[in-house]
């Protein structure tokens, strides 16, 4: 039992690597969605500003 089986160590390392990759994937997807949401908020704000300018131009006429 005192023997270290390198095959077992390798398998455990691969499992750990897969677990880390899954966590990194979730973090990456979460950050990507948050970034996309911020970008959409900025675009929406710009569109609202442009729509406000159009309305004020129409009211002046």
**pLDDT tens column, 19-59:** 999 999 999 999 999 999 999 999 999 999 998 877 666 66
Q: What pTM was estimated for this model as a whole?
A: 0.62
The pLDDT of residue 3 is 74
**How far is the C-alpha of 14 from the C-alpha of 3, rounded, in Å?**
20
Element (H, E) at 23: helix 6-60
Name the token pair of 47: 């569109």
- pLDDT reported for residue 57: 64
């Amino acid at each position: 039992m005192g023997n270290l089986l390198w095959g077992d160590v390798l398998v455990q390392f691969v499992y750990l690597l897969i677990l880390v990759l899954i966590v990194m994937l979730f973090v990456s997807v979460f950050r990507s969605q948050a970034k996309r949401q911020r970008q959409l908020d900025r675009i929406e704000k710009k569109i609202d500003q442009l729509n406000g300018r159009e309305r004020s131009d129409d009211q002046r006429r």
